[in-house]
Amino acid sequence: MRRTPARRPTIKDIARRAGVSESAVSFALNGRPGVSEATRTRVRRVAEQLGWQPSAAARALSGEGAATVGLVLARPARTLGGESFFLRLVSGVQEVLSAHGLGLLFQVVEDIGAECAVHRRWWAEHRVDGVLVVDPRAADPRPALLDELGLPAVIIGAPDDAGRPLPDHGAISTLWADDTGAMASVVGHLHALGHRRITHIAGLPELAHTRRRMAGLRAEAERRGLPEVRSVTTDYSDTEGAEATRRVLAAPRPPTALVYDNDVMAVAGLAVAAERGVPVPGGLSIVAWDDSVLCRSTHPALTALARDTAAFGRHAAEELVALLAGGPARRVEDVTPQLVVRDSTAPPGS
Amino acid sequence: MRRTPARRPTIKDIARRAGVSESAVSFALNGRPGVSEATRTRVRRVAEQLGWQPSAAARALSGEGAATVGLVLARPARTLGGESFFLRLVSGVQEVLSAHGLGLLFQVVEDIGAECAVHRRWWAEHRVDGVLVVDPRAADPRPALLDELGLPAVIIGAPDDAGRPLPDHGAISTLWADDTGAMASVVGHLHALGHRRITHIAGLPELAHTRRRMAGLRAEAERRGLPEVRSVTTDYSDTEGAEATRRVLAAPRPPTALVYDNDVMAVAGLAVAAERGVPVPGGLSIVAWDDSVLCRSTHPALTALARDTAAFGRHAAEELVALLAGGPARRVEDVTPQLVVRDSTAPPGS
DNA sequence: GCCGACGGCTAATGCGCTTTAGTATGACCC
DNA sequence: GGGTCATACTAAAGCGCATTAGCCGTCGGC
């Protein structure tokens, strides 16, 4: 037989025990004026004794908001394979949210259309007070949707909606990493080593940061007078990363250095090099975007663009908290990822 | 200036537009008897027109439950490094939950004490109807806590609480993989290749599945008469995995085969072998528990114990949904992970 | 032709909290 | 001593929904 669970105490219980009205309890516990200090402390003590916690549902219903923020990840299951960036991001997000008593409602969906539907539903059901948006892309439908719904949001990863400024009457902040600067540092490092043929194995072409990295690469190559530098796009999976590597290395004048847009593809690329008998870094230099334990675990260890992903998540959460408190929308740039040089880059033909 | 967001329609709006009372609307939309078919369809149409969605807060407050389940991951940030198992699990969980209109409240905390506090708070705040529990361990305080709170739960990864049966009046189901059988298949494979000295680089010793794997290894080794088989424990991180590998390989009679409890450590171990000039699989065979893209991406590709992690998550979510619907607590064993033989295992000294 | 049953609906209550309006008490001032 | 005014509190309404009780008309049975 299933035991009936313990009943949760309500402010009514507190009111009875403390000998005051329910409203007095509410005032006392929320730091509102209208009760004496003596009563306030007495009520607080009783509440603590009873182990009272406010009912999130009741709070939300009486107009306080849901004390919850949403985060939906739109990725086909296939590309979730070796993904570790996201969990680190979320762990940073959580640190800040839980410090503010906010819950995180999380959902994984297949595509961006489904993501929009989730936002709509969350909004209609009063489930969230705001959302975090990841993987911004060119012609992204989400900023306009969230603006229409009046749902505060922080867009993680892009300075704007594909060049167009965001509608500034909405409560939408943006936070992004300096991909351009980071890419310049990568090209600088490789060029200094003597590389002139560099290929960038990029991620999904529709994502905003992919475009920024590709543009950054082109600009920096032009500045340095390197004509044989280009990008090819993939879906971030190990499979396409490996395939692209094979294709690129089989070309007539293959590149001497490869820059991968994530760690999973970089590791896959390293395996392709091994399989073809190309020594790394002697015959091919490899750089991974987004450092992770993987880059340190391979042999040779991979030169990588490192950033503190958890801190990135914390920043994003802080922006959202500020927005929820009624603060203005902001556009902030995070620190530039730093190139960590390890053993996978060296002068070509060394 | 911040625009005032669109107002969400309520059943009152529907009632007015449809010319019936609010209760009739509630009956109509929830499939309750008490309204004619004609009225029901009319109300449904109006609701759809208005884009109405029930307020989660109001539903929860009027006793329907929060339509949300919780999941807390207690892991120090340090060990989150290359973690990809969890996200795949969650993506499976989501498929089932969202099909039932359930949200997932997710939290990452540092340790199990904090996790218990989160469960208590969620319960007190009426935030969740049930929870999923991962990483069960020996002398786990969570089953008793959840039982006390009367919070339905599915414990993912262990058949019981360290041998003691769960209190069966609670609504706590368990779901676990057949670690013992899987370990037997690994030992069988290695033994058949001719290995007699096998070391198991295990994960955290306090986790229940680590214990089962260690016990499974001991039992199978005994059965086959292999005295030089043992386990060493780590924290699952690449660092400790690499360290353990170095220590083990430097011993007087080093093992000829290593079994790693996760993919991250297996990759780290592979790098250590490369660094020491030990050829894999010629000089050392490697098996990874939990297949992932990583195992396919390394060179040589790693022999691994594969299971469908998303399906595992789906099963867990299904059990929880059944529990929430009032079903009995169950104890179910998931399919046994299958050994996928790749290029990292071969006869010793080949 | 009367009674009871039943289908189809409305009114009213409650969930736990916040908030507004209102009341009692006492201090203070001319 | 009657007025104003703050202080400390209570009463009551409302958030959006589910649910219970109750109301009215109709139909079937005797």
Please check whether residues B295 and B325 belong to one and the same domain: no
Look at B55 and A61 and tell me if their CB atoms are within 8 Å.
Answer: yes
CATH of the domain at A36: 1.10.260.40
Total tally of structural domains belonging to chain A: 3
My answer on whether B320 and B300 are in the same domain is: no
Kindly determine whether residue B271 and residue A81, on different chains, have CB atoms separated by under 8 Å. Answer: no
Give the pLDDT of residue B80: 83
Decide if A348 is inside a domain: no
Of B345, B200, B190, B215, the residue nearest B262 (C-alpha): B200
> Do residues B82 and B102 share a domain?
yes
Q: What is the pLDDT of residue B2?
A: 47
DSSP output for A117-170 = HHHHHHHHTT--SEEEE-S-BTT-SHHHHHHHHT--EEEES-SSBTTBPPPTTS
> What positions of strand D are covered by protein, i.e. any atom < 7 Å from a CB?
7-12, 14-21
Do residues B118 and B144 both lie within one domain? Answer: yes
What is the pLDDT at residue B304? 98
Are A188 and A166 part of one and the same domain? Answer: no
Q: Assess if residue A48 is contained within a domain.
A: yes
* A49 touching B (Cβ < 8 Å): no
| Cα(A255)–Cα(A267) distance, integer angstroms | 17
Residue B270 belongs to a domain with what CATH number?
A: 3.40.50.2300
Tell me which residue of B84, B98, B339, B82 sits closest to A78, measured CA to CA.
B84
Residues of B in contact with A280 (CB under 8 A): none
User: Does B154 map to a domain?
Assistant: yes
Distance (Å) from the alpha carbon of B328 to chain A's nearest alpha carbon:
9
Is residue B149 in some structural domain?
yes
Residue B15 lies in a domain: yes
Does residue B6 form part of some domain?
no
Given this model, what pLDDT does residue A3 score?
47
A270 vs B: CB within 8 A: yes
Residues of chain A with pLDDT under 50: 1-3
Q: Where are the beta strands (DSSP E) in B203-248?
A: 229-233
Q: Say yes or no: A222 and A286 in one domain.
A: yes
- Do B84 and A88 make contact, defined as CB atoms within 8 angstroms? no
Distance B20 CA to D3 C1' (A): 54
Are residues A94 and B84, on separate chains, in Cβ contact within 8 Å?
no
Residue nearest to nucleotide C14 (CA to C1'): B62
Q: Rounded to whole angstroms, how far apart are CA atoms A170 and A175?
A: 15
By DSSP bridging, strand A331-333 and strand A172-176 are parallel
Residues B316 and B169 in one domain: yes
Note whether residue B22 is domain-resident: yes
Quick one: B74 and B38 in the same domain? no
Domain with A229 in it: 179-306
* Number of helices (H), then strands (E), in chain B: 13, 12
Task: Give me the pLDDT at residue A1, please.
Answer: 40
Residue A57 in any domain: the answer is: no
- Laid out side by side, the sheet with B338-340 consists of B229-233, B198-202, B257-260, B285-289, B303-306, B338-340
Task: Mark whether A282 and A199 lie in a shared domain.
Answer: yes
Selecting from B1, B52, B86 the residue whose C-beta is nearest the C-beta of A169 gives B1
Residues of chain B with pLDDT under 70: 1-6, 161-170
Distance to chain B for A264, nearest Cα, Å: 7
- The reported pLDDT for the residue numbered B63 is 81
B122 shares its domain with B216: no
Q: Is B328 found in the same domain as B209? A: no
Nucleotides of C under 7 A from a protein CB: 7-12, 14-21
**Long-range contacts formed by B212-215: CB under 8 A, 24+ apart:** B212/B158, B212/B179, B212/B180, B213/B179, B213/B180, B213/B182, B213/B183, B213/B261, B213/B289, B215/B180
Minimum-distance nucleotide, CA of A12 to C1' = C16
Residues A246 and A324 in one domain: no
Choose among A83, A80, A105, A317: nearest CA to B107: A105
Q: Which residues of B touch A288 (CB under 8 A)?
A: none
- Does the beta carbon of B134 lie under 8 angstroms from any beta carbon of chain A? no
Cβ contacts (< 8 Å) between B8 and chain A: which residues?
123-124, 126
